[in-house]
Amino acid sequence: MAANAPPRDADAASRPMIEIVDLQKTFGENKVLTGINLKVPVGSTCVILGGSGSGKTVLMKHMIGLLKPDSGKVVIDGEDIVPLSVEHLQRVRAKFGMVFQAAALFDSMTVFENVAFPLRQHTKLSEDELYAKVRAKLDLMGLKREVESKFPSDLSGGMRKRVGLARAVVLDPKIVLYDEPTTGLDPITTDYVDEMILAAQKGLGVTSVVISHDISSAFNVADQIAFLSKGVIVENGPPEQLRESQQPAVKVFLETWFGKN
Amino acid sequence: MTTQTPSKPASEPGMFTQAVAGFGKGLIDVVSTIGGVVTLGLDVARWSVRRPYRLQNLFAQLDFVGVGSIFIVGLTGLFTGMVFALQTSEAFRLFDAESLVGPTVALTLTRELAAVFSALMVTMRAGSAMCTELGTMRVTEQVDALETMAVNPVQYLLVPRVLAGLFMVPMLTILFSTAGMSGAYFVAVSGLGISPGTFLTRTQQWLEPVDIYEGVIKGAVFGLSVALICCYKGFNASGGAKGVGQATTEAMVASALSIFILDFLVGLVMH
């Protein structure tokens, strides 16, 4: 796949990889997103920060087309994906890799088969080529050869996350989404996962969107932080901007965090 | 200032109201499940004809649903035939008609019992596993992971399972009839003293190919229904381990009921 090929024209180079325009979503009586606007430039890492129930995961699911909004646009690499059918969404989803909160590895497959799965589904590589590609991604995540034959149930939380990330980037996607990648991890493993995110961004040139409520991790990896509160983005900019924000929701969030840590 | 009268506290709904509300909720659940299963069936039909064809997944499910059920279905069939021969022979002996044991068992097995029992066995053995596996995949986000990898979960997970139910239950129905007739023959000839010639000739006289077709068609209908219900319940499970357990229980009850209801409806159409 030539997913990371350089943009062919100036327009493509200047446009954001992800653009959300006035996105609204309601579940029953519950208004979860009430007008989200967000741009994520090509090759950058955007962290969407917010408390539990602020709508972060719902926003991420819209980006990959797992949910349809009530109104608004979700433009991925220049194409609005909202009106697309399930069949056409398949093509757009091939641009994505996603790392789930609990890794979502297939528990009936070994680590190797998990990472090889997207390659088997979307390419016609020979077994040797497939092995080389999987091995390269496992190496990038610091996973040794003996891990290949293990099942997900035999791995620690941090290792599962790394396998999940290796699987997410094995097709060299343009965009990688991370759903709460450091939740439930100890500080050392959290640092390691942060390094993995930075390595994927620098080594593979992907655009990353990280959903998190872990502020220190967000400051470690973000080029841009969007703070989500009650269904809207109340602050959006580089990490320094968030640190100096006068938005009450952001101030309370930061004070609570830094007070405890 | 106007005097405010204290508002009357909302009274508890009466028993009759609660019963009607419960019945209404149950009815809505049933209609919604039937709608969901039918919609899923159409989705499975649509995705089953699209590329890529994952034959390896299909064969794995054919093996699990069909080959894996051979022993239990064969054994159930054998004992059902034996018991049926034993019971009917007592009744027929009263008016000296033991020669009808063979045809009676044959017609009952091929038209009704083989398909019903095979489908029930597949529901318990394979349907429950399908529902639990899919439910676990759903609540641990493995289904979402498939979607994000641009792999349609209906095509990857459900199509092979539903096709396996559709193709393998009719075959197991034939196996059940064969095992049942073998058991009936053994009991009738060895235990009850009916001559082998009488048993076989009378069976041949009464049993028509259409009786076998009826059982096979019923097997296909039951297999399709059971696989769709178990897939639907598992695929839409939520609420962690408890939710998966509840979905599996609901799938078992709904599958068993669907077998008996469809048995009547298909019988009505065919006669």
d(CA B241, CA B243): 5
Q: State the smallest CA–CA distance between residue A121 and chain B in angstroms.
A: 8
* Amino acid, res. A43: G
Helices (H) and strands (E) in chain B, counts: 12, 0
Pairs of CB atoms within 8 A across A/B: 44
| pLDDT above 50 (res A7) | no
B251 belongs to a structural domain: yes
The predicted structure's pLDDT at residue B236: 93
Q: State the smallest CA–CA distance between residue B148 and chain A in angstroms.
A: 6
CB A161 within 8 A of CB A99: yes
Question: Of A64, A121, A177, which is closest to B151 when you measure between CB atoms?
Answer: A121
The predicted structure's pLDDT at residue B258: 95
Q: State the smallest CA–CA distance between residue B246 and chain A in angstroms.
A: 21
CB A48 within 8 A of CB A23: no
pLDDT in tens, A122-153: 999 999 999 999 999 998 888 889 999 999 99
pLDDT in tens, B165-191: 999 999 999 999 999 999 999 999 998
The predicted structure's pLDDT at residue A112: 96
Chain B CB contacts of A123 below 8 Å: none
Residue of A nearest to B156 (CA): A121
What are A117's two structure tokens? 């799965």
| pLDDT above 70 (res A14) | no
The predicted structure's pLDDT at residue A5: 43
Q: What is the mean pLDDT of chain A?
A: 86
Chain B CB contacts of A105 below 8 Å: 142, 145
CB B224 within 8 A of CB B190: no
User: Which residues are CB-contacts of B217 (< 8 A; sequence separation ≥ 6)?
Assistant: B170, B266, B270
Contact B144 A102 (CB under 8 A): no
Q: Is B149 on the interface with A (CB under 8 A)?
A: yes
Contact B144 A105 (CB under 8 A): no
Chain B CB contacts of A174 below 8 Å: none
Contact A121 B150 (CB under 8 A): yes
Q: State the smallest CA–CA distance between residue B240 and chain A in angstroms.
A: 13
Task: Print the domain residue range for B143.
Answer: 57-270
The predicted structure's pLDDT at residue A261: 52
The half-sphere exposure of A169 on its side-chain side, counting CA atoms within 13 A, is 28
Q: Is B236 on the interface with A (CB under 8 A)?
A: no
The residues in B 118-147 lying below 8 A from A, measured between CB atoms, are 136, 140-142, 144-145, 147
Q: What is the average per-residue pLDDT within A220-226? A: 91
d(CA B189, CA B196): 6
Q: What is the mean pLDDT of chain B?
A: 91
Contact A66 B145 (CB under 8 A): no
When divided into structural domains, chain B yields a total of 1
Q: What is the average per-residue pLDDT within A69-82? A: 93
The predicted structure's pLDDT at residue B223: 97
The half-sphere exposure of A19 on its side-chain side, counting CA atoms within 13 A, is 11
B194 belongs to a structural domain: yes
- Helix, strand, coil shares of chain B as percentages rounded to 5? 85, 0, 15
Q: Is B57 on the interface with A (CB under 8 A)?
A: no
Chain A CB contacts of B147 below 8 Å: 64, 66, 93
The predicted structure's pLDDT at residue B116: 97
Percent of chain B with pLDDT over 70: 96
| All structural domains of chain A with their residue ranges | 104-172
The predicted structure's pLDDT at residue B5: 53
pLDDT in tens, A153-163: 999 888 898 89
The predicted structure's pLDDT at residue A161: 87
Looking at A255-259, B163-167, B264-268, which range is the least confident one?
A: A255-259
d(CA A234, CA A247): 7
Q: The sheet that has A232-237: what strands, in order across it?
A: A96-99, A175-179, A207-212, A45-49, A224-229, A232-237
Residue of B nearest to A116 (CA): B149
Q: The sheet that has A18-27: what strands, in order across it?
A: A30-40, A18-27, A71-76, A79-80
Chain A CB contacts of B241 below 8 Å: none
Q: State the smallest CA–CA distance between residue A251 and chain B in angstroms.
A: 33
Highest mean pLDDT among A77-91, A195-209, B103-117: B103-117
Interfacial residues of A (vs B; Cβ cutoff 8 Å) = 64, 66, 86, 90-91, 93-94, 96-98, 100-102, 104-107, 117-118, 121-122, 177
Q: Is B148 on the interface with A (CB under 8 A)?
A: yes
Residue of A nearest to B54 (CA): A121
Chain B CB contacts of A93 below 8 Å: 147-150
Contact B140 A101 (CB under 8 A): no
Looking at A34-43, A170-179, A249-258, which range is the least confident one?
A: A249-258
Looking at A34-38, B3-7, B73-77, B204-208, which range is the least confident one?
A: B3-7
Residue of A nearest to B136 (CA): A107
Q: What is the average per-residue pLDDT within B185-212? A: 91
CB A18 within 8 A of CB A209: yes
What is the DSSP secondary-structure string of A3-71?
Answer: TTPPPSSHHHHHS-SEEEEEEEEEETTEEEEEEEEEEE-TT-EEEEE--TTSSHHHHHHHHTTSS--SE
CB B263 within 8 A of CB B218: yes
Q: Is B238 on the interface with A (CB under 8 A)?
A: no
